[in-house]
Amino acid sequence: MAETVLITGGAGFIGRHVAQALLQRGYHVRVLDSFIEQVHGGRTSADGLDPQVEIIVGDVRDEMGLSRALKGADHVIHLAAEVGVGQSMYAVDRYVSVNDYGTAVLFQQLIEQPVRRVVVASSMSIYGEGLYRTVDGELVEDAIRAPRRSENGSWDPVDAQGRPLVPIPTPESKRPTLASVYALTKYVQERLTLTLAPAYGMEGVALRLWNVYGPGQALSNPYTGVLAIFASRLHNGKPPMIFEDGQQRRDFVHVEDVAEAFALALEHPRAPGQVYNIGSGEHRSVEEVATLLAAAMNCSELKPEVTGKMRAGDIRHCIPDIAKARSELGFSPRRDFSDGLAELAEWVAQQEAKDRVSEARKELEMRGLVA
Ligand SMILES: NC(=O)c1ccc[n+]([C@@H]2O[C@H](COP(=O)([O-])OP(=O)(O)OC[C@H]3O[C@@H](n4cnc5c(N)ncnc54)[C@H](O)[C@@H]3O)[C@@H](O)[C@H]2O)c1
């Protein structure tokens, strides 16, 4: 008989792709999702979820619903979360409640109904600033962003002599620096999984995901997914708005590669007890990505608007070292970035997307979280 995987938050962007990858591998897939307004805009059925997926509408914080969802489950992939760095800095109770209390309730139920393996979605955000080196080649693990000293000052963290530090790939061994409420809650999710799973005879794995992109991103959610936010602006004939100077570097990984990583984390005998960075292995500046997306969407005339403002909790550079996932899990990101952007552009062209970016920015400004 097919094994059953429960995916919490499985109706969301990543969850739908993970569900598809697992169906293809012969699993029975069950999803528990509360279809939050910010992501699903009031719908309680997920476009893009395969009809073979069993859907339970419910909140991870509701123990009765969770207990029902766990009946007969062999594994859990825990994705349910509030997802947005900027928003987490003022919707503190909501983020801590869903992400941390939600994970606590999940494990409380797992004590009664254990499964074989639990894979949790952690995040690059737990690192805070990524790993850097000085221009002299010395490693800097605990770079901190000081406020800019002048209008022309560097956005980059600097060394003791005031010289900008150079970002280098961040391995899993880098100490976490939790710079936002979101990061803090993701770290708690990760640690609860890696602490409690083995204590109750289960296997726990955490994937630290970088910037995931691809068709199916929540275009009208202005709080998360930088590419979706840019796409939604461009789709509405407006230029993408970029914080700072646009030179902050990230790794954009296609959602199909991420779905494959979850399947590997679920099945690989070396994975239990481990954390893995999941990215594409390539990094780009945010401005470059906005420009490439505008070209893919045939609106290159909409040049990115560089705001020169910084959001509280944002980090400057963080790029992954994915060697561990490659060597231990056989993870091998396949999707080419320009093909991925073309595919995203094609998908966006068929969508309706409300541009709520200015609203989201006002929310932050009102609270002094953009400076
Ligand atoms: N997208 C990224 O770039 C990225 C990067 C790092 C980590 N992650 C993590 O991956 C996971 C999935 O992210 P995503 O991009 O698919 O986000 P998403 O917002 O599209 O999906 C999250 C899903 O969780 C559901 N949900 C929220 N609160 C819930 C609750 N209380 N009970 C049940 N369901 C609830 C939402 O309805 C949604 O369907 C999250 O844990 C996120 O923190 C995402």
Nearest to 88 by CA among 136, 46, 133, 126: 126
Q: What residue ranges in 60-142 does DSSP mark as E strands?
A: 75-78, 117-123, 132-133, 139-140
* Integer Cα distance of 105 and 103 in angstroms: 5
Count of residues for the chain? Answer: 371
The CB density around residue 368, as the number of other CB atoms within 10 Å, is 9
* Integer Cα distance of 346 and 357 in angstroms: 21
Task: Tell me how far the alpha carbon of residue 99 lies from the centroid of ligand 1, in angstroms.
Answer: 10
Give the ligand 1 atom nearest the CA of 186: 43
Give the ligand 1 atom nearest the CA of 40: 37
Kindly state the tokens that stand for 256.
Answer: 């199909």
Any domain includes 54:
yes
**Same domain, yes or no, for 247 and 207?**
yes
Give the pLDDT of residue 197.
Answer: 98
Q: What residue ranges in 124-226 does DSSP mark as E strands?
A: 132-133, 139-140, 166-167, 203-209, 211-213
The amino acid sitting at 137 is: G
Atom 9, ligand 1: residue with shortest CA distance: 121
Alpha helices per DSSP H over 214-336: 226-235, 255-267, 286-296, 323-324
Any domain includes 270:
yes
* Integer Cα distance of 39 and 217 in angstroms: 9
C-alpha angle 47-252-183 in degrees, rounded to nearest 5: 85
Any domain includes 69:
yes
**Same domain, yes or no, for 120 and 259?**
yes
Residue located via tokens 């509405």: 236
Domain span at 241: 4-131+169-366
The CB density around residue 80, as the number of other CB atoms within 10 Å, is 29
Say if CB 34 and CB 60 are below 8 A apart: yes
Nearest to 181 by CA among 369, 39, 371: 369
Give the pLDDT of residue 312.
Answer: 73
Kindly state the tokens that stand for 164.
Answer: 């900008």
**Same domain, yes or no, for 322 and 174?**
yes
Residue located via tokens 């959001």: 311
**Same domain, yes or no, for 115 and 143?**
no
Give the pLDDT of residue 149.
Answer: 65
**Same domain, yes or no, for 188 and 52?**
yes
Domain boundary among 168, 194, 216: 168
Give the pLDDT of residue 368.
Answer: 74
**Same domain, yes or no, for 241 and 183?**
yes
Pocket-forming residues, ligand 1, beta carbon under 6 Å: 8-9, 11-15, 33-36, 39-40, 59-61, 79-83, 98, 102, 121, 123, 186, 209, 211-212, 218, 225
Helix, strand, coil percentages for the chain (3-state, nearest 5):
35, 15, 45
- SS3 assignment, position 311: strand
**Same domain, yes or no, for 61 and 87?**
yes
Q: 328-345 burial, b if ≥16 CB within 10 A, otherwise e?
A: ebebebebebeebbebbb
Task: Say how many domains are in the chain.
Answer: 2
Give the pLDDT of residue 194.
Answer: 98
Kindly state the tokens that stand for 10.
Answer: 């499985």
Residue located via tokens 């919707």: 91
Compute the radius of gyration of the chain from its Cα atoms.
20
For a pocket test of ligand 1, which of 36, 185, 207 has the largest count of ligand atoms closer than 8 A to its C-beta?
36
- SS3 assignment, position 110: helix
* Integer Cα distance of 68 and 89 in angstroms: 33
The amino acid sitting at 348 is: V
**Same domain, yes or no, for 212 and 155?**
no
**Same domain, yes or no, for 158 and 124?**
no
Give the ligand 1 atom nearest the CA of 78: 41
* Integer Cα distance of 138 and 136 in angstroms: 6
* Integer Cα distance of 298 and 186 in angstroms: 36
Task: Tell me how far the alpha carbon of residue 10 lies from the centroid of ligand 1, in angstroms.
Answer: 8
For a pocket test of ligand 1, which of 83, 109, 180 has the largest count of ligand atoms closer than 8 A to its C-beta?
83
**Same domain, yes or no, for 280 and 163?**
no
Give the pLDDT of residue 148.
Answer: 72
Domain boundary among 122, 150, 168: 168
Please report the sign of the dihedral spanned by the C-alpha atoms of residue 21, residue 81, residue 125, residue 233.
positive
In the beta sheet, which residues pair with residue 211? Answer: 252
Give the pLDDT of residue 206.
Answer: 98
Any domain includes 371:
no
* Integer Cα distance of 287 and 26 in angstroms: 41
pTM of the full predicted structure? 0.94
Give the pLDDT of residue 218.
Answer: 82
The amino acid sitting at 225 is: G
**Same domain, yes or no, for 124 and 150?**
no
Task: Tell me how far the alpha carbon of residue 153 lies from the centroid of ligand 1, in angstroms.
Answer: 36
Give the pLDDT of residue 153.
Answer: 76
- SS3 assignment, position 168: coil
Tens place of pLDDT per residue across the chain (371 aa): 899 999 999 999 999 999 999 999 999 999 999 999 888 887 877 677 899 999 999 999 999 999 999 999 999 999 999 998 889 999 999 999 999 999 999 999 999 999 999 999 999 999 999 999 999 999 999 998 877 767 777 889 999 888 999 999 999 999 999 989 999 999 999 999 999 999 999 999 999 999 999 998 888 777 777 898 899 899 989 999 999 999 999 999 999 999 999 999 999 999 999 999 999 999 999 999 999 999 999 999 999 999 888 877 678 999 999 999 999 999 999 999 999 999 999 998 888 767 676 777 777 677 776 77
Residue 105: CATH number of its domain: 3.40.50.720
Task: Tell me how far the alpha carbon of residue 221 lies from the centroid of ligand 1, in angstroms.
Answer: 12
Nearest to 168 by CA among 206, 127, 213: 127
**Same domain, yes or no, for 164 and 310?**
no
